Structure 1
Amino acid sequence: MRSLTEGGLLLLALLALGVSTADGAPKPVVQWQIKAAPAKPVKAGAKFTVSITGHIDPGWHLYALEEPPGGPVATEVALTDGDPADLLRVEEAKPHVLPDPVFQKPTKFFEGSAGFTLYLQAARETAPGPGTLRVLVRYQSCNDRVCLPPHTDTIPVELTLAQ
């Protein structure tokens, strides 16, 4: 008789929790969207912002950008290599701070939605015209009983670069 691997056990747990798609693959509990991006062309070297929001399924939460040692995986926001801008810093909406039942320590987290503002600078050597930023968000989501493994989503942000 075969034993279940950790991945198989996780899939069974997710299916039991109802976190799956029609094809049986785990369904992300956070859906990302662009809240604000530059409407006008961005000049080479100019600073600009992009805001993203994660909509979190009921009963789940997403952790903040900074977490205590031995706690959950903190959310990370980055760009892919070769994007037409550099990420200068990221600010988050104010998270809740409460003892986490899974980690047994105070953590910072978001329920319902999580907002992040990215402060960026357009690359100086980028050719003018349409471009795409690929915002990477790596996060861990938990409910009051289980934590999913860290997951990375890619959010494409269309923008136009000017001379």
Structure 2
Amino acid sequence: MDKILACYDFPSLVNNSRMIQLLCTVSQLIFIYTESGSLSFFTFLFYSILVGMHVLHLARRWYYNIDGRYDFRQVIRDNEMTLRLQYVVALFSPLVLGLFTYSFVELKNGLVHTLFHTSVCIQILCASIQLGCEFFEVVVNPNANNSSSTAKPKSNSVQAPVTEVKKQE
């Protein structure tokens, strides 16, 4: 287990997971667009808005390199319910929107339907793994992510000599 944790790189895991999720949701939008001829206007609009919100949320968090550790800590520590709700929405949106997409979006074409649901399942899997890793980083292993930021400088660094300046009277 220690060997697995030694090569565990949380920032790259979050970045790769978000990139895979983003590619999956963009492909979902493309699949919805390819089926737009067999969907009614309002159904197409609903599907596009649902997946589009998902794309925007993932793209923003991926572009700004936002991982969920801070959000998870704030959910645990913060006492104000409205702030907690904002952090919960930020944490669970990829998973919840993926489950909504899996539940509500139904495409008719066999190949497009299969590819669409495969991309949704991959996206939900990545969101679940990412949420589990964020939980692990904050709750199970809270000191591991603070070790690099609290590292002390090496003692063999060169310091400038201190000289005193005396006032002439």
Q: TM-score range by the shorter chain?
A: under 0.3
Instruction: For CA contacts below 8 A with separation 6 or more, give which structure has more relative contact order.
Output: 2
Q: Please, what TM-score do these two structures have when normalized by structure 1? A: 0.26
Q: Please, what TM-score do these two structures have when normalized by structure 2? A: 0.26
More helix by share: 2
More strand by share: 1
